[in-house]
Structure 1
Amino acid sequence: MSCEQIILPNLVAHCPYPVRVNPRCRESNSKSEDWILKEANFTERKRKLFLGLKAGVLTSLCYPDADDFHLQMSSDYLTFLFTFDDWSDEFDPMESDTIADCIMAALRDPHGFETDKTVGKLTKSYFSRYIQTAGPGSIRRFIDTMDLYLQAVTQQATDRTDQAIPDLETYIGLRRDTSACRPCFALMEFVAGVDLPDEVASHPAILAMEEATNDLVSWSNASSHLRNIRTFVLTNLNPQDIFSFNVEQSRRDTHNLVAVIMHTHDLDTQAAVDFAGDLCHKSIERFETERHTLPSWGPEVDRAVEAYVQGLQDWIVGSLHWSFITKRYFGQAGPEVKKHRTVKLLAPAGSASKQELEDFDDDYILPGGL
């Protein structure tokens, strides 16, 4: 096995925000796992990979103040979202279109739309709860941004089929939709019990802060995928045989920031990681700059904006810490990687051991020991 290593950027240390965890974290995560497992026909291997995901933990880190109802619905949604993301890696463009139509129909009529497709039934379940308390603006933004996400997933499937690597500018634009952060931002309104007026939601400072948050969340996870980018980009092998839990890369997905940087700028792996880390650092700086340009819309709206901006901040810091809790990126090595930032690159051609490929369990450590 290769001994080559890379050093991840110190994103956690660079992030100035305190990490908080919803006290119902473990319970809501467990319920969301059960909710998916009742509908999804997983093989034993995929079930094990799914249980290593801990999307409900991400929810509790990003929505730490949510009450029981709003946390559970949000946890179910994020668990669905990651599961769908893994499923979509196996879709061709036509399948992506068909599935997208089913999801959008369920969003537009969660009570009346009938389907036997798992994605449709799960969408009806979480969204029928969303609309119970969400405001009309939040509902519209959630549906519209889910539509953008699904369109981007179809484009990603097309690029994967064509084995096309986009240029950096194209990738960044598409990644802001494939990240699915935008519907998660609409979810913040639902959780906080606010409904931003359109003139606030479309204000340049709000949009810029959303963009900076989106970039930080999606790009930091791009850096976390690095364990098998080398085997894909440099050797053009299918890394599924090397790194089983990283389903996204195992499908030879070229939509990854580090891979795009390597291709666009002809950089080696470490240089591309450093480049991506610099972009992440600048995203936090952008966020803080725009925070100080926010105008006042009056006391009531300002309180809603404050809750929304706090939600963006929680997403930045929560997603960073979650990356080392989930087994999705580093298996059980997450705490060590978080501490030392050193990642050993796996050798190509399926030389990883069975134990390395299946190194998952149900234990995880939350920030602060919660």
Structure 2
Amino acid sequence: MTASESWLLGLKTAESSDVLTETERKNLRPMKAGLLAAVCVPGCGQPQLRFFADFLSLSIITNGRIRGARDMSENGWTGEGVGGGVDALGRHTLFQHLLPELQRLVSKATSTWKTRFESSVRSYHSAQLQVITDRVNNVIPDLETYLPLRRELSGLYMLLDLIELCENLTLPPMDDETFSKFNALKQLAADIIGCSLDVVAFNDDQVQGNRHNLITVIMTHKRLSLQGALNLAGVLIKRMFDSFVETEKSLISAPTAPQTNYLGNGSLSSYWNWVSLSRLATPPASPPRSTPDPSNGANGGDLAHLGDLPSYVHTFRDCVVGTINWAYETELYFGKKGEEIRTFGWVFLNPQNDGDGEERS
């Protein structure tokens, strides 16, 4: 048992009851949040890795609670008019347990960072409330409404803010065009992660009656069959990934180091194939971060003016590729068959919504 798991199991309410439900406690180890932290923030030290394991564990559990919330009383936030930032997280039934560490981290943050983090938390909170409101009112949002909602539900913006703070990253001065590309890349990372996890979570979501899922949204509003919705989801995710690659190239035009695959096989350029709709292919691992050699022309001196921008871009990529690899390793989506599915691509969909019960390749 990891230190993070032990800490989570020991969390108590003010009434000395366990903070986590029995199911949540049982799922801690199979969840493998520590692995998710390691692949999303591969360069951090042990104390930071522990913090991100705690944060991601609480994020995953919170997501599960929102997916199953029956009314607004189960939204997890306390107090009137929850704002943003660390103070807001301190009024969340789960994140409040990270408050001391969050306060320590934020004590060294700039006012610009604090403002951005407040916005990230506020958007995350609003998205969660919207999901519950839709469920209470029996609303399935259309695709144009759902995509930005799913982006905020991912919690990626909060995670990226915290990675920036822990790794002491600072954005260099950027013109309007470069800044717009930077924000677009961050948005694409959140879109790819959210939509990809919707695909792997669809089987469980349909069983639980959670209709805030990309596949359900497409089936409902595009009037497509399950296979048709999967096909369209694959097209959308491929477009997102293609846009991510092109935007990344336009931000950092110099070549990057060859990839080293930590968890699977494949190249970054073919990453999108993992969700090729009837078959799940193996996604790649993120390439190792390298320090440019200042004497090496475009690989070095030409990148010097970019400051920490390449590190931000690598972080976005680490989170995208790391999350998809983690989806096979965690038992939340495929149970103990993740490696089998990674290798052979066979998936069984629940017969409730797929009555033929056939194996899909």
> TM-score scaled by structure 2?
0.73
Other-structure match for 2:155: 180
Q: How far, CA to CA, are the matches of 2:100 and 2:345 in structure 1?
A: 39
The AA in structure 1 aligned to 2:201 is H
Change (3 A) 1:126 1:228: same
Query: Displacement, 1:106?
Result: 7.6
Give the one of 147, 166, 170 matched to 1:191.
166
1:123-152 per-residue CA deviation (whole Å, 9 max, x = no partner) reads 413412432554443333222201100110
Query: Displacement, 1:103?
Result: 7.2
Other-structure match for 1:35: 7
Q: Within the alignment, does 1:92 sit opposite 2:68 as a pair?
A: no
Q: Within the alignment, does 1:150 sit opposite 2:125 as a pair?
A: yes
Query: Displacement, 1:91?
Result: 5.5
Other-structure match for 1:209: 185
The AA in structure 2 aligned to 1:170 is T
1:311-342 per-residue CA deviation (whole Å, 9 max, x = no partner) reads 00111110110000111111111111112222
Q: Within the alignment, does 1:122 sit opposite 2:68 as a pair?
A: no
Query: Displacement, 1:44?
Result: 3.5
Change (3 A) 1:43 1:174: closer
Kept in 1: contact 2:85–2:119 (CA 8 A): no
Give the one of 125, 128, 141 matched to 1:166.
141
Other-structure match for 2:294: none
Kept in 2: contact 1:192–1:307 (CA 8 A): no
Kept in 1: contact 2:76–2:93 (CA 8 A): no
Kept in 2: contact 1:50–1:83 (CA 8 A): no
Q: Within the alignment, does 1:269 sit opposite 2:226 as a pair?
A: yes
Change (3 A) 1:343 1:120: closer
Q: How far, CA to CA, are the matches of 1:77 and 1:212 in structure 2?
A: 22
Other-structure match for 1:284: 241
The AA in structure 2 aligned to 1:165 is I
Q: Which structure dedicates a bigger proportion of its chain to helix? A: 1
Kept in 2: contact 1:73–1:130 (CA 8 A): no
Change (3 A) 1:337 1:133: farther
Q: How far, CA to CA, are the matches of 1:120 and 1:274 in structure 2?
A: 37
Kept in 2: contact 1:168–1:264 (CA 8 A): yes
Q: Within the alignment, does 1:108 sit opposite 2:80 as a pair?
A: no
Kept in 2: contact 1:61–1:314 (CA 8 A): yes
Change (3 A) 1:167 1:43: closer
Q: How far, CA to CA, are the matches of 1:101 and 1:58 in structure 2?
A: 33
Query: Displacement, 1:192?
Result: 2.4
Query: Displacement, 1:295?
Result: 7.9
Kept in 2: contact 1:146–1:183 (CA 8 A): yes
Kept in 1: contact 2:185–2:248 (CA 8 A): yes
Q: How far, CA to CA, are the matches of 1:92 and 1:180 in structure 2?
A: 21
Change (3 A) 1:150 1:91: farther
**Uncovered stretches (5+) of structure 2, i.e. residues with no partner:** 12-17, 254-301, 354-361
Give the one of 73, 76, 96 matched to 2:54.
76
Q: Within the alignment, does 1:322 sit opposite 2:326 as a pair?
A: yes
Query: Displacement, 1:67?
Result: 1.4
Q: How far, CA to CA, are the matches of 1:75 and 1:151 in structure 2?
A: 24
Query: Displacement, 1:300?
Result: 6.5
Kept in 1: contact 2:172–2:308 (CA 8 A): no
Kept in 2: contact 1:138–1:186 (CA 8 A): yes
How many residues are matched?
297
The AA in structure 1 aligned to 2:185 is M
The AA in structure 1 aligned to 2:312 is Y
Q: How far, CA to CA, are the matches of 2:187 and 2:310 in structure 1?
A: 17
Change (3 A) 1:287 1:325: same
Query: Displacement, 1:58?
Result: 0.7
Q: Within the alignment, does 1:336 sit opposite 2:344 as a pair?
A: no
Kept in 2: contact 1:62–1:319 (CA 8 A): yes
Q: Within the alignment, does 1:141 sit opposite 2:102 as a pair?
A: no
Other-structure match for 1:253: 210
Other-structure match for 2:40: 62
Q: How far, CA to CA, are the matches of 1:60 and 1:348 in structure 2?
A: 36
1:253-286 per-residue CA deviation (whole Å, 9 max, x = no partner) reads 2211011011111111122112111211221211
253-262 or 128-137: bigger deviation = 128-137
RMSD: 2.9
The AA in structure 1 aligned to 2:233 is A
Kept in 2: contact 1:153–1:178 (CA 8 A): yes
Give the one of 21, 25, 38 matched to 1:47.
25
81-90 or 329-338: bigger deviation = 81-90
Query: Displacement, 1:120?
Result: 5.4
